[in-house]
Structures are given as C-alpha cells and as structure tokens.
Structure 1
Amino acid sequence: MKTINKLLTLLFLLFCTVAFAQQNPVLYGIMIDEDNKPVEGVSIFYDGPAGRVQATTDKTGFYQITIPADTPVTVWFSHISFKLSAFYLEMGMGDSFEFNSKLNTSVEELGNLVINKDTGRKEVEGITTIEPEVILRMLGPNPGVENILKSFAGVNANNELSTGYNVRGGNFDENLVYVNDIEIYRPFLIRSGQQEGLSFTNSAMVSNVDFSAGGFQSKYGDKMSSVLDITYRKPTRYGAALEASFLGGSLTLEGVSKDKRWGAIVGARYRDNSLLVNSQETQTNFRPTFIDVQSLVTFTPNEKWDFSFLGNIAQNKYQYQPLSRQTNFGTINDPIALQIFYEGQEKDEYQTFFGAFTSKYKVSKNFALKFIGSVYHTQEQEYFDILAQYALGEVDSNIGSDTFGDIQFARGVGSQLNHARNDLDALIANAEIKGYHDIGDNKVEWGVKYTREDIRDRLLEWEVIDSAGFSIRPPVIDMVPNDQPYTPYTGPLVPYNTIRATNFVTINRFSGYAQWSRKVTVGESELYMNAGARVHQWQVTGDGLDGKSQIVVSPRGQLALKPKWERTNMLFRLSGGLYQQPPFYRELRDSLGMVRPSVKAQRSVHIVAGNDYSFKLWERPFKLVTEAYYKDMNNVNTYTLENVRIRYRANNDAVAYAYGLDMRMNGEFVPGTESWISVGYMKTEENINGRGYIARPTDQRLKVAVLFQDYVPNIPSLKMYLNLVYNTGLPGGSPSYADSYIYQSRLNDYRRADAGFSYVFVDGTPVKEGDKPKAKWLQPFKELALGLEIFNLFDNQNSITNTWVRDVYTKSQYGIPNYLTTRVFSLKLTAKI
C-alpha cells in the first residue's frame, strides 16, 4: 500500500509544483587506502569566503562536507600517512556529489572536478545526461543507449527489435549521433528491425551520454530532430568486463602504459536475435550472426597534445527461412485466421568499417584546437526469394473438435512471390577542425568540415501477387482499359510492384558553424545566452546527374534564467532557431529507386520553452523537467514507413507542423537508486500539395514510460528493474500503396513491460570495517551479478504493420496484424575485474 501511495505521489507531482527548501551543495564519499581499507581521520577542508571549513572521515572512511554554491574551491585531503591530494570543485545550489578516492603513499593525486560548471551548462542547453550505470542496467531486447532513450517523453519507438527512434514527430533519419565528437552513420538497406542486430554504441565503453530532443545549439549538425552525444571513457587502469545472456554477449578489455601516456580499450560483441524472432507467429529457421569489434586508443604525450583513434568493424549476417504462420483475429462470433506456408529464404549481409583520428592541441589556457578525420565504409547486400501461399478463412471454434483452431472454410486463397537482389557500396570521408576560445566571460566556438560521399547502389526487386488464380495488377491508375469479363484484357502481365535502378552518386559537402556563449548576472539571478549559425553547401553529381550547388544558413539561439530564489531551485529555458536538413543519399532516392539531385533541404523552425525544478521528496533529491515545443516545417520530403524502412518521395511536396508537451521526473524513489516517469503529448500533421492536413507517419499522440529500480530491504543484493512503455497507435495500418488521404488507419496502441531480477554478488563499493570479507572466489571481481530477464512481461500483442488480404467473395480487404515478439525469458551474467 505504501508503494502505491508513493507512485501516486510521483504521478501527481508531474502536473503540479510544490516549493521545497533549497539545500546547500554537499560533497560526500569514502576514503580508502591502497589495500581498499577505509581510512579514519582524513582531514577534508577548503578555504571558503567565511574562512576554512573542515570535516573528518570516521572509522568507516565516510565523510560529508558542505560546499558553497556557485563558488570555485579547492578541496584538500590530508592524512599523516598519505600524500596530500586535492581537486578543484564547483557545485550548484541543491547539488550533491559522491566522491570516493583511494589515498596513495607514493604519488600525489591532483585533479579537477568541475561539477556545476559542466552540469549547469548542460541544463541551460536543454541537454539530458544519462549515467553509464543506468544504461548498463536498462532492460530491453536491445539494451543500450537507444533503449533508454525510448523511456523519455518525446522519444517514440514501436519496435523492440530496432535501435531506431523517432523524436517529436521526426523519423529515424532526422537524429544526429556522435561518439567522441565523431558523427556516426547507420546502414542503408535494413528494412526490418530484426535485421539490425547491434547499434554502433558499445555501452561497456561509455563514460557519458548527452541527449537533446530539440532546440540544440549551432555546434551540432544539420538534422531536424535530436542530438545524441556519446563520450567513450579514456582508459585509466587495467580491467576487463564480461556480459553474457541468451541473446549474446560482450567482452571489454582496457589498459594503460606505465607512464600513463598510452591507453587502450577494446570491446567485442556478439548478438543473436533467434530467441526473440522464434517467439513470433512466423515459424522460421533463423541463423543470424551480428558481430562487431571496437577500439579506442589514446595518447597524451604532454599537457598540450591529446591524440586518439576510434575504430569499428562490424559484420551482420542475416539468414532467414520462414516456414509457416497462422494469425487468428476477428471476433468471438466470427473468428477468422490467415494461414501461410512459405518457400524460399532471405540472405542479407551488412559489413561496415569505420575509423576516426582526433587530435586536440591546447594553444593556450584559453584557446584550443581539435582536428577530426574519419572514414566510414559500408558494403550491403539484400537477397531474397520468398513464396508465400496463403488461405484466409473461418476458424473452427468448437473446443471439442479435432480440428479446433484450423481453417474450415476459405474465403480467399492466393500466393505472393517476393524477389530482391539489392547491393550497395558507400564510402563517406570527413575532415574537420574545431576551435574553442575563452575570452573573459565569453565562450566562442567554431568549426569547418568537408564531407565526401560516394555511393554505388543497385536496386532490383519485384513482387507478384496471385489471388484466386488471377494475377493482381499494380495498384496505380492503369493506362490500358480493363473491362473484364465483357472485353478481353490485352495488356501485358506485369508485377504488382517493381523497382529497378542503378545509381552512381557523389556528394560533396562543406559546412561550418560559429557560436557565442556568455553567462551574466542580472540582479541576483544568472542569465545564460547563446547565439550562433550554421552554413551548409552541397552538390550532387554522378552518372546522368548534374545537380546544382545549394546552400543553406541556419541561425540558432538559447536563453536560460536561473533565479536566486531562497526556497525554490528552478531554471527557465527558451531556445529555437532554423534547423535545415540537406538530403542524405536515401532522401535523394524516390520510391522507384531513382535519384533526384535537386531535392532541397527540409526546413524546421524550432521553439522550445523549458523548466527544470529541483526539489527534495522523502529527504531525497528529485528533478522535474518540463518542455513545451512547436515545429513549423516546409520543403518536407514526405515518405512511407514500413517496419523500419523509409521510402521517400523526394519531391519536397509538403508543409508540416508538430507541437507537444514533455514531462519527466527522476529521482531516488528508492534510496540509492534512480527511477523516473515520463509523460508526453505530441501531434504532427502534414499538408501534401495543398490537399489538407493529415497525420504524419510518426504522429504518436500520447506516451507514458516508467523506469523503476528497487531492491529487497532485507536482501539489498537482490535487485529488481522494471521498464514500462505505453504509446498510442501510429498511422501505418493502411497498405503502403494506398492514397494516404483516402485511407487513414492506425495501428493498435503499443504496450510493453520488461522486468529483470538480479542477485549482485559484488557491487564494486569499497569494503567497510566490520563487513564480512568476500569469499575467495569473489575476490578477483570488482562487480559480479547474475539475473533473470523477462521481456514483454504481460505478453501483449503489439503489431508493427498489417498484411492486407482480399476476400474474393465479399470483395473486402482484411488487415492482418504482423505481431512483434511475445513473452521471452533470458538469463544474464555481468562481471568486471
């Protein structure tokens, strides 16, 4: 009952704001020696505005000290048996930070720890920071950074087998992804979520994740929806991490040289989706192998230079042989089933190679330069020949019958043959230089980038449909009259759908940005200002193509105000500007596979107003983040969405808009664990060729998500994780060929719950005096846990598309849902040494 009351309180706080007393920032932690034993009597002190402030560790090594808000101080750690150590610190009002450190007898440890300067900057920029520990614990069939984004308001995804996500009405191609300031690309030919396997980001290598859902600064690239900025950690020690489950596993190794100048971290991952795919209604022989190896090598010869290399090799082989399927639908009084028997198979392969070199040079204390060079090469093939012979009919609903559940009377029979021989080879090279200047209270950033894209693409795919012995003609206006059976039809027999194209395309791009930031004091409040602009020029050329040079300019700005209120810790934000997205190769290719070099950049005007409210509840920290947004779009490149494949019309034939409200509250619902609840409302519509506004393919109105972590009070090593997501239905229930103005249909609502239970043998925290020593076999481990994961806990039937079958007797069409995965159980082992 207490838990229910707490949940109700959390839900209530999403819609109302209550003032709580603001606390001075607190620094706390545990000090240990080289043998990982707590050190008593360590003096922690700093010289503040009112004199020296001091605290001392107790017998468990624990300390706690209050820090002055928004004031830089140097915190010292002093003990007669250890070297003096210190670090630079700045914290904001209401902040708390845990700093655990190991005291050393031979080396003096000095460093910088700027908490509020960076965290506060991200808050005023509207950036959400995600802790790596939360990412590693996040549940889902595709665990990782993208999976945790799906629990945010404004971020939607209705396919648990895909790492793609939509942000505030945008599609998969409108999201920027960076790793260590290097732009990351997705494969081109993937059309189904189950083909994706692995995302680029290796969660075991992550040190920091920042995410912005709109209104981001000019330093980020030319996309219309969001920015995901990931930082891989710089190796500082020798270590290894292992993760294994029924869905695959990963191994990560890291180490440093004796002089600490060289460091390397290498991660290898393997993924197998057969456990998930075999839970679907289609019976298959499924043999996938998704493998990748990533490495980050760093070299710091001195204080001025910093070099790094990030490399990735991925090989995804997808072999799929469907056997049979039966989907029951209809009503109790009129049960109907679709039964399909398959022949043939699909063999897809995606090989990607990625390498990036970065170098940062500190010209002076207030001036730094960064050089980035990267190459991305992808070779993709998509081959399949699949014959589906189907029967649509009435089901035997007599429970005592020997044929219970089988089709008794066929309303429609037919077959469908799909064929494809698609190949793509793409090489993308980037060269970039960035500059960072601190001029008094002003911060100036700029960058210049050159990109060359070479694409070799061959599309050859067709579909033949036979219904009741008759070949179905394409669903387009036919130039040859068809008046059967009164007049014999003399036109040629053609496939229901066919695409044939060969494209050799080269795109040269020049882009750059400049932005200025400043923080000033207005009365007793702080005002943060940012203004900047981006410029992007590109030209599409190739065999038979002669695209004109195009150029766009995108000004952007942000304002943030943090009032100095005594009893309330709030931050107000206003951001916006012009966000223009020059077409990438896939956006240049129309639904028939032809490249249109004159496609214009899509344009979107963003206006985002936000509020961050930090408070304490049950004597624990919480934060409520609210954002209202509006997007006005033109030159929209309309598209159809089927599973995860996007097919553009490539003619900039529409205008559109999107608006909504996102709310997210996170905090320690249970002491020592972070949980959150998100609620979002969004509406997006488009007007194609002046025909009127209709829902866009990503128009998902309501989103509710909960991430909850807990543990058994008497057995704190036994932990529980719960991930709940509810989305209203997407448009997309209609056939892909249908006129969207005539046929508006939505899929059913998306409901999913994933739960996990784990027993933590070792959690990585220092051993305190009086604690029971670890067993011998556990001593080599820094972390060790074994857990049970339950995906789709309540076995909800979520669908991603519909299969359309015609009843030859009633001339009606039936939309048969293509269901996603059912309930699946998996074991997971996690270990670090």
Structure 2
Amino acid sequence: MSVRLKNIIFLLFLALTFSTFAQKARVKGVILDEFNNAVENVNVNVGDKGTVSDKNGFYIIEIEANKRITIVFSHLSLKKTSINLSLKPNEDFELNPVMNSKVEEFGEVTVFGNSKKRIEGVTTIDPVIIRKIPGANAGIENIIKTLPGFNSNNELSTSYAVRGGNYDENLVYVNEIEVYRPFLIRSGQQEGLSFTNTDMVYNVDASAGGFQAKYGDKLASVLDITYRNPKQFGASIEASLLGGSLTVEGVSKNQKWSNITGVRYRDNSLLVNSQETETNFRPTFFDAQTLLNYNASTKWNFSFLGNISQNRYNYQPLTRQTNFGTIDEPIALLVFYEGQEKDKYLTFFGAGKAVYQYNERNKLKFLLSGYHTQEQEYYDILAQYRLGEVDANIGSETFGDVVFSRGIGSQLNHARNDLDALIVNAEMKGFHEINDKSQIEWGAKFTLEDIRDRIVEWEVVDSTGFSLPNPDLNYQNDQPYNPYVGPLAPYQNIRATNFTKINRFSGYAQWNFRGTLGTHEYWLNAGVRAHQWQVTAVGRPDGVSQITFSPRAQFAIKPDWNRDMMFRISGGLYHQPPFYRELRDEEGVVQTNVKAQESFHLVLSNDYSFKMWSRPFKLVSEAYYKNITDVNTYTIDNVRIRYRANNNATAYAYGFDARLNGEFVPGTESWFSFGYLKTEENQDGRGFIARPTDQRLKFGILFQDYMPNIPNLKLYLNLVYNTGLPGGAPSYVEDSYAYQMRLNDYRRADVGFSYVFKDESIKSTKSWLKPFNEFSLGFEIFNLFNNQNAITNTWVRDVYTKSQYGIPNYMTTRVFNIKLIARL
C-alpha cells in the first residue's frame, strides 16, 4: 500500500470520526474536594451513560448536543452533585465541580473515602508546597528529601538515594515519559537545574518501594510527575538572587488547543561563594520547556513535551583554608590553586503522546520520545597545599594562620571527557476496564541507546618534592631513605574510548481488582514485567542477549472498623538491567555482559487517617526488607558513581519509615518523618560491610505557619537530619574493606518568610494588585544554624608522621536570599 493511499485512508477515517460525532458535545474537567484535592473514582453519569474520574480527578464524558441534560457526580464518601447543561454540536465544555465531604461519625473518629493512591502506597505532594518551601536547590527533589526513605547529604544536588539504593536506581517520569539526568556530573554544584519545571507541575506521586509492574526497571523508587493542562490564560514570574523563571499558559477559544511554556535561568554563585574555597565562578544554567495539547475529538488527544537545556559551568578556584583537629591541637589545610574547569552540557528532549479513548472503559496510549545530550568535562587544576599547625593564641598577630608546616605538596588534576548520547523510546499502553471491580493494564516498549564516550583523566600527586606512584602498583616509595625503583606513573590514570549501542525490549501486564470480604473492602494488584537487552561495543566482544522477568503484587484491605485504617502488603522481584554508567568499570571500559541486579522487595504498611483538633491528619508507617543479588558494587565521590561492573556481591537492606502529616496549623499542611535503614553488601564472600548509602537514621520536618495577627506573613521551614554516610574513604580506593570511615552527620535547616500581598485567601483592594492572582515577596535563610556539612574528604600526607589526614570538604554555609513571586 502506497504512502499516499495510507494518508487518504487516514483522512477518510478522521472525517468519518468527526461526522459520527457531529451531533455530540463533550464535557471534561477535574473534580475537586473542599480541600482543593483531586478526587478519583467519582461516578459521572448522564442518563444511562457514565464514566469514572481517574487518579488526577480528570473525567471526560460525551453528551447529546442541543439538548438540556443533567450531569450527576456521585462518590461513596462525598455528597452527590448535579449540574444542568445545554451545549452546541461538537462543543468542548470545561466543568470543574467541587464536591463536599459526606462525613460518617463514629464516636470521635471521622471516616473519609479511600483513594487509589492511598491503596497503592503512593505519596502525593501538593505543587503549591513545592513552590513555596525554601531550599538551596528548590524544587521537587528539595521536598522529597524530607519524606521518609528518601535521603540526600548534598543540598546542591538533585540526586537522592532511597532505602539503600544509589542515585541511579530511581525512576522519574514526566507525563508518563521517562526522563534522564546528565552522565558526566561529578559535583552537585555542576547540576544547575532539575529537569522538572516546578511552575508547570500539576501532580507529584512518589513511591519508595513495592511499586507496581507498570513502572520501569529500577530497584529503588518511582517519581511520577504530571504537568498541568491549562484551563485558561495565566502567567507566573519568579525572581531571586539565584535566578528566575517565567511561565505562560493558555487555551484556544474552542478549548481544543492548550499550551504551557516555561523558561528558567539559575546562577549558583551565591551558594558556591559561601564555601571555603574562594573562586571565580561564572555559571549559566538555562532551560526552556513546553507542553502542547490538542483535543482532536472526543476520542483522540495529542500532546508534545519538549525541553532544551544548556548548562555552562566555568570554575576557577583560588584559595582554601580548612581548620580541623582539636582545641589542643588545631590543624589547618591551606591550598593555593591554579587553573580552571570548563564543563558544558547541551540537552535536547522531545516526546509525543497520543491517547485514543475508544469508549468509556477502554483506552490506548502511544508514546514516542527522544533524548540527546552532548557533554564535555575539561579541567586542569593545580592545588599546592600546606598542612600545618594553627596559631591558637588569641592575642597573637598570626592568630588563625598556619605557623608550622607538617606537610607540603601539590596535586595536579587533568580531564578531557566527552560524551554524546542518543536515547529513543517507542511505547504503547492499554487500559481496559472489565467492570466496576476489575481492570487490566499492559504496555510494550522499545528503547535504542547509542552512546559515544571518551574518558581521559589523570592525577599526579607530589609530597614534599617526591612524586607519589599509583597505589595499585604495589611499589613502596621510601624516599629519601631508599631509592625508588618502580615505574613512573600518575597517581591515577583512566583512559578509555567507548562506542556503545544497547537495544531493549520491555513490557508489562497487570490486573487490578476490588472486592469485599464480608464488610471489609480489599484491593488486589498483580502483574509482571519482562525486559530483554543486548549490548554491543566497538572493540569489545558482543554481549549476550539477556532477559528478566519481574512478578509483583500488592494487596490492601480496609477493615470495617470505627477507625479509618488501611493495611497493605506489597513486593515481588525487581530487576535493574544495566544502564550505560553501570557498564563502565573503574578503568572506564564498557563490560558488555554485566548482569541485571535483582532485588526481592517486601513492604508492610499501615495507613491511619484521623482527626485531631477537629482537623485531618494521617500517619503512614512502613517496614521493608530487600534481598539483592548480582550486585554491581561502586564507590561514590560527591555525586559521581564509579561502578566495578562485575556483579560480584550480594546485599540486603531493611528498615522502618513513618510520616505524620496534617494541619498542625489550620489551613496549612506540614509533616514530620522518621526513617531507620541498615544496608550491607558482601563482596566475593569476604563478609558484610556497610554500603555507600547506609544512612542509618533520618529525621525530616516540613512546617508551614503564619502569624494570627498578621495572616499575610507566612513561615516555611525545611529541616533534615541524617546520620553520616560511609563516604570518608579516598575515591580511588578499590578495596572497600580497607576503609569503613563515616562522614559526620548531615544537619540542615532552611527557613523562608513570605509576605503575601494577594492570593486566593488574601484579597486586596490596591489598584496595582488587580492584575495579579498572587503576589508575594519572600526572604530566605539557607542553612539557618550554619552547620558545617561535609560531602567528601580530601586526603593529604604528613611527611613527619607518614600519616594521612582526611580533611572534610564542607558544603555551603549560611546564605540569605530574596524571592519575588507574581502570578496572573
């Protein structure tokens, strides 16, 4: 069949589709409760025709045109609502009803309706909270770090670890499309901007484990983000000392077209200049994103998500002095730098999505996406240091200076790293509602990864005039007492060129069922994922074709009790077929036959909703266990992960998480979270040691408040406490058993004060505020208590005692920021 004939048939099909529905109209919208939360599983009926709202509260229903009809909205736990309408043929009408709670009293306890996200164990975060809570790297990642199970010790990075996993073990979706992070990032201050534009976000769901088969092949967590479909014209501007953003959205007159576009710029110099290393820092982080939607008919919807991101990181360190040791024996590291670092990341991302709703119970989705990144990491930095004793005499003219040197040396670091990666995904999904109690979901996906990578890194270390050899050569350098006869070699030297292609086929099928056991309600989800892949690399043996199967299940039950409680058990097998970073060994060479890491998950949960002080609260607690095999061990330097690519270990993780959230202050949501984790690995049967992400204890607080006498003045607090990670060893160490040192505890509090001139709850009669729906001016304090948090150690030698000192590399100190927010 020729291409022209195919196009004619397609156009005839569209014409037939439009003519068939010429005398129809469509009503769509989002159903909200009185707390402005989306409500799912609302029955929307017009006569004998009906539909059900989805997890985002969205519904769409077809009605007869030129006829007065009644739409009825009903829900098990909300009051029934009905609205009369009369629409023109082929008209799209937006209707966003608000349904009030239908409360059933049992003594002092109030029972509210259940939601799908509650059943699945998914945490939903309000986008308004994301925008308002302060943080050095504000956004979604800033908020989820306060949730139980999510950990991070780096305020400059968007990376996070979940329940013993590392930064590469987390899935991130935007509008059901998987997104990626840059490959060559080694330091949090290089990242600049997260992919997700907070001002465009409609909904955020986070799961820390035990997630369903429909989510992809990672071991740790899922972050499922949905961007907003505009309902009317709007614009928002945000500006601060760290940069700014502009977002514009709108819809066409016939409601068929809608678009939201955001542009962001960020400059981290305010934060980096607060660190101990004095620098000439000239960064520029910029991106632009757009989401375009087209409602072609009552059955077809098309959308396009596009992103262009450019990060330029120019870094020229000057000097650094770090004081450590004890009061009786203060020691300092004084460093003078020469050289600079120039990094550049240019990323293009585009994704198309088509949704075919061929009736109320059946839906198909077609997704096509492409990700292209060009990255370079170039630096030549010479660090000349003095390690010595500090003058602690307060009356001395040299107080605080290094007066006696214990060690003198230098370190020269060089890199010329380039990477070009292209990732293409084609996917098809189906959703079929068999009846009111049972649904089936399935999907199939093809992925092509084409990555070209060159690594050239070396480091030369000089200590008091003597070049130190590579520690892996096992030659002893006992100069000046004995001559050195070993080879001259850099302290570290990595050189590799990789041209790698990976073809992947993956798919899933799962079944959802809702039923009753006597008077108790229960929900069941069962599914399986499959993943096949093969790696080819120029100059390396072709990898074998590998395949994994991952059965998963969830069971939740809500007893018919006076207390609103739900119990849930979930788990199964989770596989992580290696991504490109996981294929590279410590020498930078791609290993084509790296196996998928396999983890057995078991999660036990309790969800308790209750009222306290006549306001809603929820306590969620989870206990979990993971048994992991074929572990691809690694070391972490700042945020850069270096894999061994040999699947030579087993591991386990277990712990307990809890979060209490609710209206501690009327009209605002706050929460307190706690987490306990223990994770260890056993390499080659040598015994269990702590994994690099063994974060034993975690406390997080997100708190909102306002002054009763001045309701315009708001307060936002973001507080995190994490115990120290086992990250104190030198990054070049291959034998993790030789170093099991831990960094100090991570303690950080960010606070923001905002004066709201106008928003939904605060009205204003001032003429200059009339164009605005919201206008506020804020003042933020990052690292309120000025805690010294370290991300890694710098290791230097004492020439006299031949000892090595681990000098902490501290993160940001206390920083002040001003922020303006305006929304039309």
| TM-score normalised over the length of structure 1 | 0.87
Q: Hey, what does 1:753 align to over in structure 2?
A: 749
Instruction: Check the 8 A contact 2:719/2:750 in 1, yes or no.
Output: yes
Name the residue aligned to 2:784.
793
In the superposition, relative to structure 1, how do residues 309 and 507 fare at CA in structure 2: closer, same or farther (>3 Å)?
same
Distance between the aligned counterparts of 2:568 and 2:149, measured in 1? Answer: 17
**Corresponding residue to 2:443 among 447, 461, 464:** 447
Alpha-carbon distance in structure 2 between the residues aligned to 1:425 and 1:649: 22
| Counterpart for residue 316 of structure 1 | 311
Matched letter for residue 807 of structure 2: I
Aligned to 2:367: 372
In the alignment, which of 439, 449, 452 is matched to residue 456 of structure 1?
Answer: 452
In the other structure, the counterpart of 2:419 is 424
Distance verdict in 2 for CA 1:114–1:145, change over 3 Å: farther
CA apart distance, 1:755: 0.5
**Secondary structure of the corresponding residue to residue 288 of structure 1:** strand
Structure 2 counterpart SS, 1:222: coil
**Matched residues in 1 for 2:726 and 2:390: separation?**
29
Kindly state the Cα deviation for residue 764 of structure 1 after the two structures are TM-superposed: 2.4
2:268 corresponds in structure 1 to 273
* Local SS of the residue matching 1:476: helix
Q: After superposition, where does 1:132-143 map in structure 2 within 5 Å? A: 132-143=127-138
Is 1:152 the counterpart of 2:147? The answer is yes
1:197 alignment partner, SS class: coil
Aligned to 1:9: none
Does the 8 Å CA contact 1:174/1:224 hold for their aligned counterparts? yes
Kindly indicate whether residue 519 of structure 2 is the aligned counterpart of residue 524 of structure 1: yes
Deviation of residue 511 (structure 1)? 0.3
CA–CA separation in structure 2 for the residues paired with 1:659 and 1:437: 36
Residue 250 of structure 1 is matched in structure 2 by: 245
Q: Does the CA-based 8 Å contact 2:568-2:606 persist in structure 1?
A: yes
> Deviation of residue 47 (structure 1)?
13
Q: Deviations over 1:680-727 (max 9, x none)?
A: 100000000100000000000000011110000011010001111100
1:287 matched to 2:278? The reply is no
Alignment-derived partner of residue 6 in structure 2: none
Report the equivalent of 1:52: none
Task: Classify 1:115/1:387 alpha carbon distance in 2 versus 1 (closer, same or farther; 3 Å).
Answer: farther
Aligned to 2:236: 241
Per the alignment, residue 42 of structure 1 pairs with: none
Aligned 1:48-67 pairs, distance under 5 A? none
Distance in 1 (alpha carbons) for counterparts of 2:382 and 2:505: 47
Range with greater deviation from structure 2 (366-375 or 537-546): 537-546
CA contact (8 A) 2:383 2:411 kept: yes
Instruction: Give the aligned residue type for 1:473.
Output: P
Give the whole-Å Cα distance in 2 for the aligned partners of 1:425 and 1:26: 45
CA deviations on 1:511-547 (whole Å, 9 max, x unpaired) are 0000001000111111100100000000001212311
If the length of structure 2 is used for normalisation, what is the TM-score?
A: 0.88
Q: Paired residue for 2:472?
A: 476
Query: Counterparts of 1:438-587 in structure 2 under 5 Å?
Result: 438-440=433-435, 441-478=437-474, 488-545=483-540, 546-565=542-561, 567-587=562-582
How many angstroms apart in 1 are the aligned matches of 2:751 and 2:549?
47
Q: 1:199 to 1:29 in 2, by over 3 A?
A: closer
Partner of 2:621 in structure 1?
Answer: 626
Secondary structure of 1:236 counterpart: coil
Q: Separation in 2 of the partners of 1:311 and 1:119?
A: 35
- Aligned-pair CA distance for 1:89: 3.9
Partner of 2:813 in structure 1? 822
Percent identity of paired positions between Structure 1 and Structure 2: 66
Counterpart check, 1:809 vs 2:800: yes
Kept in 1, the 8 Å contact 2:32–2:97? The answer is no
How much has 1:91 moved relative to structure 2? Answer: 5.1
Take 2:628 and 2:99, find their aligned partners in 1: how far apart are those partners? 39
Corresponding position of 1:734: 729
For residues 789-830 of structure 1, what are the alpha-carbon distances to aligned partners after superposition, in whole Å with 9 as ceiling and x for unaligned? 000000000000000111010111111100000000000000
C-alpha distance in structure 1 between counterparts of 2:152 and 2:819, whole Å: 24
The amino acid across from 2:635 in the alignment is: T
**Structure 1 residue identity aligned to 2:266:** R
Which of the residues 90, 105, 112 maps onto 2:75?
A: 90
8 A Cα contact 2:34 2:99, kept in partner: no
Q: Does 1:616 align with 2:611?
A: yes
Deviation at 1:84, TM superposition (A): 9.4
Distance 2:253 2:568 in 1: 46
Partners of 1:338 and 1:153 in 2: CA distance? 37
Deviates more, 1:362-371 or 1:384-393: 362-371
Taking a change above 3 Å as real, the CA distance of residues 815 and 102 of structure 1, as seen in their structure-2 partners, is: farther
The alignment partner of 1:813 has SS state of strand
* Correspondence for 1:211 among 197, 203, 206: 206
What is the alpha-carbon distance in structure 2 between the residues aligned to residue 234 and residue 253 of structure 1? 12
Aligned length: 751
CA distance in 1, matches of 2:214, 2:302: 21
Residue 509 of structure 1 aligns with an amino acid whose one-letter code is R
CA distance in 1 between partners of 2:162 and 2:736 (Å): 22
Deviations along 1:356-393, whole A, 9 cap, x unmatched?
00000012221110000000000000000000000000
* 1:271-296 C-alpha deviation (Å, 9 max, x unpaired): 11000000000000000000000000
Structure 2: which amino acid aligns with 1:256? Answer: V
Q: 1:151 to 1:481 in 2, by over 3 A?
A: closer
Equivalent position SS for 1:124: helix
Once residues 614 and 334 of structure 1 are traced to their aligned partners in structure 2, the CA distance between those partners, rounded to angstroms, is 55
Return the letter of the residue paired with 1:811.
K
| Cα distance between partner residues in 1 of 2:161 and 2:44 | 49
Cα contact 1:707–1:721 (8 A) shared by 2: yes
Which of 401, 406, 417 is residue 406 of structure 1 equivalent to?
401
Residue 20 of structure 1 corresponds to which residue in structure 2? none
Whether the 8 Å contact between 2:618 and 2:661 is mirrored in structure 1 is yes
Give me the whole-angstrom Cα distance separating, in 1, the residues matched to 2:698 and 2:305: 36
- Partner in structure 1 of residue 106 of structure 2: none
Q: How does 1:340-355 map to 2 (within 5 A)?
A: 340-355=335-350
Look up the SS of the partner of 1:134 in the other structure: helix
Maintained 8 Å contact 1:87/1:113 = no
1:381-415 per-position Cα deviation (integer Å, ceiling 9, x unaligned): 00000000000000111112111111000000000
Residue segments in structure 2 that go unaligned for 5+ positions in a row: 1-30, 37-42, 46-56, 60-67, 102-111
Q: What residue identity is the alignment partner of 2:335?
A: I
Unpaired stretches in structure 1, ≥5 consecutive residues? 1-24, 31-45, 49-71, 75-82, 768-772
Q: Which residue of the partner structure matches residue 701 of structure 1? A: 696
